Amino acid sequence: MQDSENRYSFSTRAIRAGHRRTNEGEQSEPIFTTSSFVFENAAQAAARFAYQEEGNVYSRFTNPTVRTFEERLASLEGGSSCVATASGMAAILSMCLGLLEAGDHVLTSQSIFGATRLLFANIMSRFGVEFDFVALDDVDAWRRGMRKNTKLLFLETPANPLTELGDIASLAEIARSKNALLAVDNCFCTPALQRPLDLGAHIVIHSATKYLDGQGRCVGGAVVGDEELVGEKVFGILRTAGPSMSPFNAWVFLKGLETLQLRMHAISENATRLAQWLTGQSAVKRVYYPGLEDHPQYELACSQQRASGGIVSFEVNGGRDAAWRLIDATELLSITANLGDVKTTITHPASTTHSRWTEEQRESAGITENLIRISVGLEDINDIMADIRLGD
Ligand SMILES: Cc1ncc(COP(=O)(O)O)c(C=O)c1O
């Protein structure tokens, strides 16, 4: 099915978009495990290298299985172009290298994944790009933070791990009014629950490692947007610098996309049940989940997302000891830093995903020692709740 067949609904495209059946008549998408492609003659090789003829050359640039994944994800996000990368971090790096240059200023949410912050503050800043960090939910702070040289606004929504929301439409308006770009890491919602491009964003970032795979098997990422920003600029980085996705991983992600919508809604239901249950527990100090009516941005979540997603974070009474005790007492949940798996995972952000931040950075972002993050999966919710021993 070609992407032009946008007349099909989301769930149909998630299963079929991007697949061009070969002469073998395969039902499932083939994995093209080949590093290079063979030309009919020297003239064709020259024409492909000179961009005079379309077609595959080398799998660092394009590969049919990877392209199927790219076309399918682009279709689901509503973008005209997608570049698949070796990891989510490679997607963010490729975006930076493709769209920024020395002297540019980036305004970014302070509530972002730990490695993303380090990439910005410790690596990209060495190449003359300036970064300012603002509170995700404070639209005025974003407006005030804009400078003449602001080229890019970057955020995750909901953010990891405290599930604060960014108002995508308002931030897109701010970006557009100053000729800047808005990039949204859509890892937590996926296009099944939220489509940032529809709300005015220019770029969508994915760690495919998370819900796009959905079963914790492969590391990968993607940048989605239009032909110019992604198809030319970000693709140019991929082609030359080479943070490319492997065909096997692309195939796994394709299989993941087939069930994405079903999983995201079922996971959201489980997560809502868990968040409601945690709210009533005396050993729990605070619960962070956009599906709870007392979440400070509940209304925004309802208007911007189709469901609340699978990440529930909560603070227990006490400090790190209490959080670690609860984590260590689980028998079913996996103690791992990954998220987005059908297997429920439990994490202590302060000592793992955000451990390389300074104490001050963690404090200003609200990553406390008693905070626990759960990525809710698809096990029976009663089994998940029974495994969280709150001691009351
Ligand atoms: C929101 C978010 N963005 C990006 C990444 C980076 O993705 P990857 O681990 O695939 O490089 C992660 C990883 O946990 C993440 O949670």
Blockwise average pLDDT, block size 10, the chain, 392 residues: 71 96 95 97 96 94 97 97 98 98 97 91 97 96 98 96 96 98 98 98 98 97 98 97 98 98 98 97 97 97 98 97 97 96 97 88 88 98 96 64
Q: How many CB atoms lie within 10 A of CB 152?
A: 22
Could you tell me the distance, in angstroms and rounded to a whole number, from the CA of residue 188 to the centre of ligand 1? 10
Distance 89 CA to ligand 1 centre (A): 6
Question: Ligand 1 center to residue 282 CA distance, Å?
Answer: 32
Pocket test of ligand 1: the residue of 85, 113, 249 to mutate, having most ligand atoms within 8 Å of its CB, is: 113
Q: Whose CA is nearest to atom 16 of ligand 1?
A: 113
* Topology, domain 260-387: Aspartate Aminotransferase, domain 1 (3.90.1150)
Q: E strands of 166-265, at which residues?
A: 181-185, 203-207, 221-225
Pocket test for ligand 1, best of 87, 89, 338 (most atoms within 8 A of CB): 89
Distance of CA 88 from the midpoint of ligand 1 (Å): 5
Architecture of domain 10-258: 3-Layer(aba) Sandwich (3.40)
Main-chain dihedrals φ then ψ at residue 387, nearest 5 degrees = -85, -15
Burial of 350 (0-12, 13-18, 19+ CB in 10 A): buried
Q: What is the CA 170 to chain-centroid distance, rounded?
A: 20
What's the one-letter identity of residue 98?
G
Side chain identity, residue 309: G
Q: Which of 377, 192, 103, 162 is nearest to 288 (CA)?
A: 162
* pLDDT on residue 391: 74
Q: What angle do CA 128, 133, 135 make, to 5 degrees?
A: 165
Distance (angstroms) between ligand 1 centre and the Cα of 114 equals: 9
Distance 1 CA to ligand 1 centre (A): 30
Give 88-129 pLDDT, tens digit per residue: 999 999 999 999 999 999 999 998 888 999 999 999 999 999
Out of 95, 157, 186, 187, mutate this one to test ligand 1's pocket (max ligand atoms within 8 Å of CB): namely 187
> How far, in Å, from the CA of 339 to the mean position of ligand 1?
9
> What tokens does 163 get?
């599930």
For residue 90, which atom of ligand 1 is closest to its CA?
Answer: 11
| pTM for the predicted model, two decimal places | 0.95
CA distances from 256 to 149, 210, 332 (A): 39, 10, 23
Give the distance (Å) from ligand 1 centre to CA of residue 210.
8
Q: What is the predicted pLDDT for the residue at 227? A: 97
Question: What single-letter amino acid sits at 283?
Answer: A
Nearest CA to ligand 1 atom 14: 338
Domain ranges for the chain, please list them: 10-258, 260-387
Closest residue (by CA) to atom 6 of ligand 1? 88
Measured from CB, residues less than 6 Å from any atom of ligand 1 are 87-89, 113, 116, 156, 160, 185, 187, 207, 209, 219, 221
Going by alpha carbons, the residue nearest to atom 7 of ligand 1 is 88
Distance between CA atoms of 1 and 355, rounded to whole angstroms?
Answer: 45
- CA 180 to CA 356: how far, in whole Å? 30
What is the reported pLDDT for 5? 52
Looking at the CA of residue 339, tell me the nearest atom of ligand 1. Answer: 14
CA 205 to centroid of ligand 1, rounded, Å? 10
**Long-range contacts of residues 306-309, Cβ cutoff 8 Å, at least 24 apart:** 306/192, 306/193, 306/194, 306/265, 307/193, 307/264, 307/265, 307/268, 307/269, 308/268, 308/271, 308/272, 309/158, 309/163, 309/188, 309/189, 309/193, 309/264, 309/267, 309/268, 309/271
pLDDT confidence of residue 369: 96
For the CA of 159, the nearest atom of ligand 1: 1
Answer whether 212's CB lies under 8 Å from 187's CB: no
* pLDDT for the residue numbered 392: 54
Span between the terminal Cα atoms of the chain, in Å: 54
Identify whether the C-beta of residue 272 lies closer than 8 Å to the C-beta of residue 289.
Answer: yes
DSSP state of 340: S
Q: Output the residue whose Cα is nearest ligand 1's atom 15.
A: 113
Measuring from atom 9 of ligand 1, which residue has the nearest CA? 88
Within 10 A of 200 (CB to CB), how many other CB atoms are there? 17
